[in-house]
């Protein structure tokens, strides 16, 4: 696909999962090298088995990871390679700044209970996973000229991991890690309030670690309220169902809450029913603070272009709106203020906007 991108200017991406952005070739390579059975022989076949063309439920989508994560998890070389190749992929998509997220525990095979993906116990700890990913992201940053930071995920079904996740955020905060996230199956009743998660997010607030939470993707507006009021999130992963509670939505607009929107993902996970108006159309109309993101491009067979094309063709998005949302993404990034300003200056210049005119009063 060599046609001109829908938005052929520098882009910022804030919501993409490392373990959902792996090249099928890399999965095959490590499956063979490590003697781990995979459901396909070629990259094309593998992409079709892992990938989705029509909507599934969120749990159905999450089950896709079982096919290929055993080929990557627990292997130092594989983990370094997927992190490095990720940066290369983003460079090809015209991304100048990206925050990539992952669960250190889901890539480890030591000092993690239970050991994920039915792996035998090994000697790769969550701590070392973060060190390996950070090192490879930094190498990719140098080689491909994309600024990269990472976010460590707590998993809703494993609250016992969460306190360690926030400790790793603190330990590696000067080596690419900028925030903590809560990810996984949002339909687990009351999972935002599990003590392990609450304790971790309280510690994040206390330690000045930035926070984002997957909420309101398939869960109700109540899950969004818990993320905002109890977990003190600064951004919302998806957040679509906020719109079901008018008062909450009005409040979040007033507070300039950032919504990490993933349009193509929301179609395939069933988070958005395609016979209704997409929440991002409402966000656009209300001049809400949001970004466009790929989420899990391996599984959704997509690139960032997919999401830009979808919003332009089906929802009437304009070049001006793309500029606005990328500037909002940069402003809502978890970079320190001086680096954030450099990123904004880069965008203003590329977009032909005078920085003063682009400055808007914050509520």
What would the pLDDT profile of 89-123 be if each residue is shown by its tens digit?
999 999 999 999 999 999 999 999 999 999 999 99
Per-residue pLDDT of 304-325, as tens digits, reads: 999 999 999 999 999 999 999 9
As a CATH number, domain 11-348 is: 3.20.20.140
CA–CA separation, 59 vs 64, rounded Å? Answer: 9
Pair 306, 294: CB distance under 8 Å: yes
Distances (CA, A) of 3 to 8, 194, 310: 10, 48, 15
CA distance 277 to 4: 27
Interval 160-185 mean pLDDT: 97
Number of residues that make up the chain: 363
Question: pLDDT at position 28, please?
Answer: 97
* Bridge partners (DSSP) listed for residue 214: 237
pLDDT tens string 198-230: 999 999 999 999 999 999 999 999 999 999 999
Higher-confidence residue of 14 and 356: namely 14
Q: How confident is the model at residue 59 (pLDDT cuts 50, 70, 90)?
A: confident
Residue 238 has pLDDT above 60, yes or no: yes
Domain ranges of the chain: 11-348
Residue 60's pLDDT is what? 81
Q: Which two tokens stand for residue 187?
A: 């339909």
Q: DSSP readout, 91-114?
A: HHTTEEEEEEEE-GGGG--SS-SS
Q: How far apart are CA 204 and CA 161, in angstroms?
A: 14
Q: Is the pLDDT of residue 1 over 70?
A: no
| Residues annotated as catalytic (active site), given as ranges | 217
Q: What is the pLDDT of residue 295?
A: 97
Q: Residue 67 and residue 24: Cα distance in Å, rounded?
A: 11
- CA–CA distance, 109 with 241 (Å, rounded to integer): 36
Taking residue 174's Cβ as centre, other Cβ atoms within 10 Å add up to: 7
Mean residue pLDDT across the chain: 95
SS3 156: coil
Q: Whole-angstrom Cα distance, residue 114 to residue 318? A: 47
What mean pLDDT is predicted for residues 261-290? 95
The pLDDT of 9-21, averaged and rounded, is 98
């Amino acid at each position: 696909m060599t046609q001109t991108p829908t938005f052929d200017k520098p882009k910022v991406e804030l919501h993409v999962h490392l373990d959902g952005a792996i090249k099928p070739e890399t999965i095959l390579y490590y499956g063979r090298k490590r003697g781990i059975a995979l459901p396909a022989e070629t990259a094309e076949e593998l992409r079709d088995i892992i990938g989705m063309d029509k909507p599934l439920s969120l749990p159905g989508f999450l089950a896709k990871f079982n096919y290929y994560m055993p080929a990557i998890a627990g292997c130092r070389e594989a983990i370094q390679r997927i992190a490095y190749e990720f940066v290369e992929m983003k460079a090809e998509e015209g991304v100048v700044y990206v925050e990539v997220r992952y669960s250190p525990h889901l890539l480890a095979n030591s000092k993690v209970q239970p050991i994920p993906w039915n792996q035998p116990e090994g000697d790769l700890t969550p701590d070392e996973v973060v060190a390996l990913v950070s090192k490879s992201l930094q190498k990719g940053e140098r080689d491909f000229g994309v600024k990269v930071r990472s976010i460590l995920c707590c998993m809703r079904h494993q609250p016992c991991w969460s306190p360690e996740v926030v400790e790793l955020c603190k330990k590696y905060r000067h080596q690419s890690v900028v925030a903590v996230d809560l990810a996984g199956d949002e339909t687990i009743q009351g999972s935002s309030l599990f003590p392990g998660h609450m304790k971790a997010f309280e510690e994040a607030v206390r330690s000045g670690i930035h926070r984002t939470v997957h909420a309101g993707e398939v869960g109700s507006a109540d899950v969004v309220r818990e993320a905002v009021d109890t977990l003190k999130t600064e951004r919302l992963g998806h957040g679509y169902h906020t719109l079901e509670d008018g008062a909450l939505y009005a409040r979040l607009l007033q507070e300039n809450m950032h919504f990490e929107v993933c349009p193509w993902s929301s179609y395939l996970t069933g988070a958005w029913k395609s016979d209704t108006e997409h929440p991002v159309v409402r966000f656009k109309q209300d001049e809400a603070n949001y970004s466009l993101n790929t989420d899990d491009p391996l599984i959704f067979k997509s690139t960032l272009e997919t999401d830009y094309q979808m919003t332009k063709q089906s929802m009437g998005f304009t070049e001006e709106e793309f500029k606005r949302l990328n500037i909002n993404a940069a402003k809502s990034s978890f970079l320190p203020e001086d680096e954030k300003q450099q990123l904004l200056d880069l965008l203003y210049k590329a977009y032909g906007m005078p920085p003063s005119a682009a400055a808007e009063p914050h509520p």
